Structures are given as C-alpha cells and as structure tokens.
Amino acid sequence: MNADDSCQGGQSQRLQIARAYLKDAEILIFDEATANLDADSEYAIISSLYSVLKEKTVVIIAHRLSTVKDVDCIFFLEERKITGSGTHKELLENHERYARFVQEQMIE
C-alpha cells in the first residue's frame, strides 16, 4: 500500500499533479485523471491542473468532455482514429459526431 491508496476525493490526483510539476517534465500525460471523481472534485483537479501546469504541454485523455472542453485543442477519436480536432467551439460547429457526443453529456 502506498500513500496514494489512503487518499480520497481527488487527493491522489492532486498529489500526482504536484509530483508532475516538481519533476519539471516538458510533456505530461494524464490518463483519465478525473474518471472516478464527483463533479466538485473534478472541477478542483482540473482548475489545479490548468493553473499549475499552464506553461507545460499537457496531454489529457478523458471520456468526460467537461474535463477537456476548455483546453487549447481537442482531438476527437472514433474507432481508434482521429476524426476531428480543434477547440470545443470549433468541433461543435464542424464535427457532427462530436456535437452529438457533447449533447449526450449535456455540456454547453
């Protein structure tokens, strides 16, 4: 059992973000970092991520669009292929499947 095992409510994710920041890596990858969190904890984690790592290249892999809707560029994948890329607004306007996916998740 490690220290992360006893953390709750996004504490483990916050520790991972802090470790990534301290390592000073040029590129950081977060794979489903907020998948098991409630909406409030997810918001706190994403806010921390954006403010602490704003000068880094960060790749966020997520199924929840609320996690990535404010990033610089979203790559939308279907059947393991990138079928669209752009900002949330650009994809909403130009990618039918993305727009449907957003509607299904009730994100504006």
Burial class (CB in 10 A: 0-12, 13-18, 19+), 16: middle
Identify whether the C-beta of residue 13 lies closer than 8 Å to the C-beta of residue 33: yes
Among residues 32, 78, 93, 96, the one annotated as catalytic is 32
32 is catalytic: yes
Q: Which residues are catalytic?
A: 32
